[in-house]
A = this chain, B = another copy of it.
């Protein structure tokens, strides 16, 4: 499942929604990203964002036996301490859930069309992409 928009999320509620009434899920891994230090504005590419996240999710399901998954990304202005992103991977066993959640984040970080603009000392500037994110992608190739 994919969700993109300004609304905040509750990790517990999202996990319950994915696992309710099921007895084939033994392991749920969530990753949530939180704004550090300074306020930021998230720009994205409506239309492509949803398609790209759906492609990333489909690829994770192709690679691991997942019972359920969620990619949720917020947009707009966010403050330090605010949630930015939530990824959930649910599987029968923990190894698949851990690997899939990590894969989803690595792919999201390098392929999903979002751009952060940070406000530092009264000036807004676009965040540079991190080489370590490209490196993290390579382990899945």
Contacts and interface: CB of A to CB of B under 8 A. Distances in A.
Interface of A: 10-15, 19, 21-37, 80-81, 92, 94-95, 97-98, 101-102, 105, 136
Contacts of A102: 94, 98
Contacts of A30: 11, 28-30, 32
Contacts of A19: 34, 81
Nearest to A19: B34
Given A28-B31, A36-B92, 20 more contacts: A12-B13, A12-B15, A15-B32, A19-B34, A23-B35, A23-B36, A23-B80, A25-B34, A25-B36, A26-B34, A26-B35, A27-B31, A27-B32, A28-B33, A29-B31, A29-B101, A30-B30, A33-B94, A94-B102, A98-B105
A81 B23 contact: yes
11 contacts: A11-B15, A12-B12, A23-B36, A23-B37, A26-B34, A27-B33, A28-B32, A30-B30, A30-B32, A94-B105, A95-B136
